[in-house]
């Protein structure tokens, strides 16, 4: 087998197992990429209208977990309250443009919204980092904002 064939085989296997928790209802978090546009000529002027795109992995919500204290203590640039989303695979889930906000114009705001169906938490967040250092391991880190 070639390296490409092996890579695709392992990607298919990983994707098959990633969707099981969502299919069983074990993923209470839902994640949305949110683009806010204003009716005025500049950001913040006029009425705001939000357009949301849900991040999905094979039709299921991605894994979401809150950053642990030891990760903050290691001075990794993370803060208490940050969330890590993923792994996500843009090829089989939400388009890459929606994840990184490249479809947002200069006068629009790009954020994430994460909600938890069990606790009722609903946070608007800004993008902190996207790490895509492995073929099967793209992770998104977001930070809640107020207001």
Reading the block at residue 49, the tokens are 């209208």
**Alpha helices per DSSP H over 20-123:** 20-23, 69-73, 96-100
Range of the domain at 120: 3-144
- Say if residues 119 and 67 touch (Cβ distance below 8 Å): no
As a whole number of angstroms, the distance between CA 134 and CA 25 comes to 27
As a whole number of angstroms, the distance between CA 125 and CA 123 comes to 6
- How many CB atoms lie under 10 A from the CB of residue 33? 24
- Say if residues 99 and 33 touch (Cβ distance below 8 Å): yes
pTM exceeding 0.95: no
CATH number of the domain bearing residue 109: 2.40.10
Q: How many domains does the chain have?
A: 1
HSE-CB at 114 with a 13 A cutoff on CA atoms is 25
| Nearest alpha-carbon partner for 28 in 117, 110, 119, 98 | 117
Q: What is the pLDDT along the chain (147 residues), one digit of tens a residue?
A: 687 888 778 877 776 776 666 666 667 889 998 888 888 777 778 888 888 888 887 788 888 988 877 777 776 677 888 999 988 876 666 667 777 776 677 677 888 999 998 888 899 999 888 887 666 678 889 999 975
């Amino acid at each position: 087998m070639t390296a490409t064939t092996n890579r695709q085989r392992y990607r298919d296997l990983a994707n098959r197992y990633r969707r099981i928790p969502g299919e069983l209802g074990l993923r209470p978090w839902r994640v949305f990429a949110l683009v806010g546009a204003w009716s005025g000529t500049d950001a913040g002027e006029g009425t705001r209208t939000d357009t949301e795109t849900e991040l999905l992995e094979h039709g299921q919500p991605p894994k979401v977990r809150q950053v642990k204290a030891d990760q903050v203590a290691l001075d990794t640039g993370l803060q208490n309250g940050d969330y890590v989303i993923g792994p996500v695979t843009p090829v089989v889930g939400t388009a890459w443009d929606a994840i990184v906000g490249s479809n947002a114009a200069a006068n629009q705001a790009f954020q994430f919204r994460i909600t938890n169906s069990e606790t009722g938490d609903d946070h608007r967040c800004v993008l902190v980092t996207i790490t895509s250092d492995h073929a099967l391991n793209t992770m998104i880190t977001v930070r809640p904002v107020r207001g």
